[in-house]
Structure 1
Amino acid sequence: MSDQSSGQRRPRKSYLEAKKKILALLGTAEFNTGDQIPAERELVAMIGLSRMTLRKILAELVDAGILERRGNQGTWIRQTVIERPLTSPVEQGISQITEVNGAIPGSHLLYFQHASASVRIARLLHIEAGDPIVMMKRLRFADASPFCLETSYLPLHRVPGLTASMLEQHGSLYKLLSGLYHIHIASDEGTIKIATMSEEEYTLLQVPPDTPALVYRGVITDTQGSPVEYLVSVNHPEKVSFKIRNPVMTSVS
């Protein structure tokens, strides 16, 4: 059955190109999340399209959650739900970060199991390949909306007796490590890359297939410098941003 026979028409190529131009403009260095976009007349002049077409495209972007209208104040790039600081103390867990952003944190434990460390995981955690580890995957929520999928790998000898029910009861892994195992998180070292989500990831984070994600991979260490956790965090690109704040160093001449 064709699109026309089903009562639906595909957008014209010129319309799709105009939409791409607007998205490209909003993706430049001039704009950031939470910024107000130019007035309609300015956008019409900048991109070269009719005001009717522009309004239709903006309405679609509002429906998609990319833009938001604020009454008579105009149209704004929607603020990300969670701003994750890269320079704050690592012991501040994701639940606390969510609360700082003014949202109610939530978590769903997808699986919790024991496994044998692969060569790569063993190297990162400073253990031997084949040593027992704890693997857990959690879906994180802010105001009941999923924004992050986290997989953790911990050496079993650091957390003997740890169970899924204990984790669900305490909520925060780092508080559990501190209170029960006297392991105090001190630092982390990792990377942030853009990667295409897997089917499981885009399904859980409720985004279209082939959506890019902000993926953090890092090793978290304790106050003695020993690895405690290897973390893989897949973040919703429209709900999470990473914030960097470095002090300005002044030189004395």
Structure 2
Amino acid sequence: MDNQTTHHSGQPPRKAYLAKRQALQSLLETPEFNPGDRIPAERDLADMLGISRMTLRKILNELIEGGILERHGNRGTFLTSTAIERPLAQPVQLGISKIVEMNGAVPSSKLIFFHRAAASSRIARLLMIKTGMPILIIKRLRLADTKPFCLETSYLPQERVPGLCAEDMLQDTSLNQLLAERYGIVGAFDEGTIRVGIMTPEERELLQAEPGSPALTYRGVIFDRQRRPNEYLVSVNHPHRVAFRIATTL
């Protein structure tokens, strides 16, 4: 039967289904809704979107699995609260672990890989070293209360961190603290950008995000007080678990 899938599942054709799902997401992204808000009742949403309650529940379940929504028992369905607020002008010395603690969560991390490589011309320029010089590439998944919220990749000139190895990063070690205590390297300021992009399949899997999810990606260089680059950092942030906070003073 040509309409076998539609008949048995009670769903509209896939294209129409995805359009309705996108319509719901667009509705929830309007200024009327903030993270942590309860969404309208299923009956009201189904009427607004012109779909059956069964189809709506399937969409809601997918958004829950994707971390966009969460159910709170009999209280209803809510937009997921932002897990971590990162100050846009954060002091470099804070480090991500301290920021997680300031958000009332327990920080942890998982080492994805620790790799030695030769610096490309771009990385060499950012770190102010010669092309081909040895660097360390450290990729870590950062978690708050066991939920992944950002994926960080650090590029370090190997000559400044002799003896640093993967074992040093296996016990939720703070890289900032390790650099300060072992090598006397203290970050004083950073220069970088934040852009919106689409996650790679690896990033999506590690951050437990939906296909096609955007990411807030920070790329920047961290300098010491002598304006020497300590580290080039790429931080890919989950769009529903991280918000960058802006604060200005007169």
Please give the TM-score of this superposition, normalised by the length of structure 1: 0.82
With over 3 angstroms needed to count, the CA separation of the structure-2 counterparts of 1:41 and 1:207, relative to structure 1, is: closer
| Aligned residue in 2 for 1:184 | 186
For residues 201 and 61 of structure 2, the distance between their equivalents in structure 1, rounded to whole angstroms, comes to 28
Matches within 5 A, 1:1-253: 4=4, 8=9, 10-12=11-13, 16-37=18-39, 47=48, 49=50, 52=53, 56=57, 57-58=59-60, 61-62=63-64, 64-70=66-72, 75-169=77-171, 171-247=173-249, 249=250
TM-score w.r.t. the length of structure 2 is 0.83
Alpha-carbon offset, residue 118 of structure 1: 0.8
Structure 1 contact 62–68 (Cα < 8 Å) conserved: yes
User: Structure 2 counterpart of 1:132, which letter?
Assistant: P
1:134 touches 1:154 (CA, 8 Å); kept in 2?
yes
User: What percentage of aligned pairs have identical amino acids?
Assistant: 53
Please give the alpha-carbon distance, in whole angstroms, between the structure 2 residues aligned to 1:65 and 1:108.
20
Following superposition, the deviation at residue 5 of structure 1 comes to: 6.5
Offset, 1:151: 0.8
2: CA distance between counterparts of 1:208 and 1:69?
Answer: 18
Matched residue count: 247
Is residue 127–residue 229 contact of structure 2 (8 Å, CA) maintained in 1? yes
Runs of 5+ unmatched residues, structure 2: none
Separation in structure 1 between the aligned mates of residue 244 and residue 94 of structure 2, nearest angstrom:
14
Provide the C-alpha distance between the structure 1 equivalents of 2:33 and 2:226, rounded to a whole number of angstroms.
42
RMSD across aligned C-alpha pairs, in angstroms? 3.0
Determine if contact 2:66/2:210 at 8 Å carries over to the other structure.
Answer: no
- Check the 8 A contact 1:87/1:246 in 2, yes or no: no
Q: List alignment gaps of at least 5 residues for structure 1.
A: none
Instruction: Spell out, residue by residue over 1:73-129, the C-alpha distance to the aligned partner (whole angstroms, 9 max, x if none).
Output: 654321022222212211111122222222222212122222211110011111111
- Distance across 2 between alignment mates of 1:232 and 1:212: 15
